[in-house]
Chains A and B, each alone.
Chain A
Amino acid sequence: MIMTFGDASAWDTLGLGGAEATWSEEEVAEHFRAMGAFYADLAASGEMVSGFGLADPSHTVTVEIRDGRPVASDGPYAEAKEVLAGFGIVDVASHDRALELAARFAALVRTRVELRPVMDGAGQDR
C-alpha cells in the first residue's frame, strides 16, 4: 500500500478544497492526465488492486464509543500538518518493485509517500 500525505493546501491546488484551484487549468489537467497514465500502466501490467484520492480533510468525522454509545464529531481538524491524502494498493512481485512504484507515485503527487505491506489472511506480511 502506497500512501500519500499533504496539508490542506494540497486540495486547494487542485480545486478540490474550499475554492477554485490555485494551479492553472493546464497544470491541473496535466496532473490528472499523468495520474491516469500511471494507473493505466499498473492496470496493464496487472499490478493494480485499487487506488483512491481522499476528499478534503474538513470532511473527516471521528466516530468513537463513549459510555457504551457510538458518537460522532467533526475532525480531527484540517490544520494538521500532514494528513492522509490518498492511497494505492498494488500487488507486485517484490519489495524492490513496490519501492520503484512508490518513487513514481512520490514524483507525481509531489509529496512524501509511505509504503507499507498489507497483511495476508493468515495475519502475516507478504
Chain B
Amino acid sequence: MDLESAVEGLLRELAPQTLAALTRRYGHFELAEDAVQEALLAAATSWSTGSMPDNPAGWLTTVATRRLTDLLRSEQARHRRERTDAVRALPLAGTPAALGPVGEQDDSLVLLFLCCHPAVSPPAQVALTLRAVGGLTTAEIARSLLLPEATITRRITRAKQSILAAGGRFALPEPADRAARLDVVLHVIYLIFTEGHTATAGDALVRNELCAEAIRLGRLLRRLLPAEPEVGGLLAQMLLTDARRAARTGPSGQLVPLAEQDGPLGPAAIAEGIALITESLGRRRPGPYQLQAAISAVHAEAETYDDRTGRRSWPSTACSTDWPTTRGHPEPGGRPGPGRGTGRRAELVDGSWPIPVADHHRVHSVRAHLLEAAGRPGEAAEQYRAAARRTLSAPERQYLLRRAAILG
C-alpha cells in the first residue's frame, strides 16, 4: 500500500473518533463537524508528504480543537456585530444520560444515530453520514454521488441545522425509540450501498467506492451491535450482492441480469455473508434485510459455477416470489428470481402497488420481467420501454431497450 492510501485509511478510521471526542467535550456538533473536516484536509496534505506525527489521533484532536475554537470565536464575533443573542432552550427534566463514560463504548454509534436523525431528509442523511462517520471529504462525496460539491455542502449544512432545530443531542436514543432509529440508520447505509450498486444516474452501472463504504459502515455497525439480527442481515445482503459485482457488468460496462451472470462470484464475501445470515436468522427476530439476505444466500449457495461450460445451474427460488414480506419495504435492489411461484407473480403483475413507488422505473422493470415469465410478451415489452424511459442510468436503459427489442 502506498503512503497516500495508508494515510487515507488511517484518516477515515480516525475521523469519527475525533468528531465524537470534540462533540463529547465541547458540544456544538455542527461546528465540530466542520472543524474535523478541516483538520482531516490539513492532515491529508501534511501527512502524505511524509511528516506523520508520532500520535496521529492526538494531532488530529489538537488541530480540530483549534479550528473549533477559531470557528466559535468568529461566530461569537458575528453575534456581537449583529447584536444577536442566540439563546437555546435546555431540556427541563434531567433525562438519564444514555451516554456512558469515555471509553466504555464506541462513540461512532452515537454519531451514526445523530447523522441519521429522523428530522433530516434521506439524501442529507446520506451526505452527512458519509462525511461525519465515513470521513469522506465533500469533494469525494460529490464525486461518488455525481453531484456538484455545492449541492453536497448545502445538504450537509441543512442536515446539521435540522438536527440542531430538532434538539438532537449527542446521546444514544432512548430505549423506546431505539428500534425505529436503528431502522433509519440501516436504511441510510443501504441507500449508500444501492446508490453504489446500481447508480441512479450516469454512465457507470456500479460505483465501487460507495459499495465499499457502505460495507465498511455495515461492518462498523455490526461490531457495535453484534446482537441485532437486522444489522447482520443488512451486512450479509450487501456482501452477497457485492460478491456478484464482477459478474454484473459485461465487457463494455453493460448490465448483465441475474439469469445471465456467468462470471465467478467472490467466494470469501459469499462465505462471510452466508455465515452472517445463518447466525442472524438463528436469533429468531426476522426482518426485511434478513429476508433479502436469505434469498441472496439461497442463490449464492446453491449456484454451481461449472468451470468447463462457464455457466451456472439455477436452483428453484420459489420462496423469493412466494414470500410477500418485501412488499412495501424499500428494496431498491429487488428483482424477481428465476424460479417458480407463478400464482404470486400474477398477483404482483396485476395487483396495485403503493402509490409512492407506482411510477418508479424499477416497478415497470419488475412488472416487465414478471409479464415475460408469465408468457405475455407484448405487455412485457411495453413495460420494458416504460422503465427505459424513466431510468437515469445509461447501462440500465440499454439493457431494458434490448429486452423490449427481443420481445418485439
A interface residues with partner B (beta carbon < 8 Å): 8, 11, 15, 17-20, 55-56, 58-59, 61, 63, 66, 69-75, 77-79
Contact = CB atoms under 8 A, between A and B. Distances in A.
Given A71-B87, A73-B86, A74-B75, 10 more contacts: A17-B66, A18-B70, A58-B72, A61-B27, A70-B90, A71-B88, A72-B88, A75-B76, A77-B76, A77-B77
Contacts of B26: 55, 59
Given A15-B66, A19-B66, A20-B66, A74 B89 contact: no
Contacts of B317: none
B178 interface: no
Interface string B41-68: 0000000000000000000001000110
B223 interface: no
B355 to A, nearest CB: 42
Interface residues of B, number: 21
12 contacts: A8-B73, A55-B26, A59-B26, A69-B90, A71-B88, A72-B89, A74-B86, A75-B76, A77-B76, A77-B79, A77-B80, A78-B76
A83 to B, nearest CB: 13
Interface string B68-96: 01101101110110000111111010000
A73 B76 contact: no
Given A74-B76, A74-B79, A66 B70 contact: no
Given A74-B75, A74-B76, A19 B70 contact: yes
A72 B87 contact: yes
Contacts of B92: 69-70
Nearest to A18: B70
Interface in B165-221: none
Given A69-B92, A70-B92, A77-B80, A18 B73 contact: yes
A58 B69 contact: yes
Nearest to B25: A55
A17 B65 CA distance: 8
Contact of B76 (A20, A58, A69): A58
B268 to A, nearest CB: 46
A39 to B, nearest CB: 21
Contact of B90 (A11, A18, A20, A72): A72
B66 A66 contact: no
A76 B186 CA distance: 41
A71 B73 CA distance: 21
B87 A66 contact: yes
Contacts of A15: 62, 66
B66 A18 contact: yes
Nearest to A74: B76
Contacts of A61: 27
Nearest to B88: A72
A123 B88 CA distance: 35
Contacts of B27: 61
Contact of A18 (B69, B85, B86, B89): B69
A15 B75 CA distance: 20
A61 B87 CA distance: 10
A78 B79 CA distance: 12
A77 B74 CA distance: 11
Contacts of A59: 26, 69, 72
B127 to A, nearest CB: 26
A60 to B, nearest CB: 9
B88 A73 contact: yes
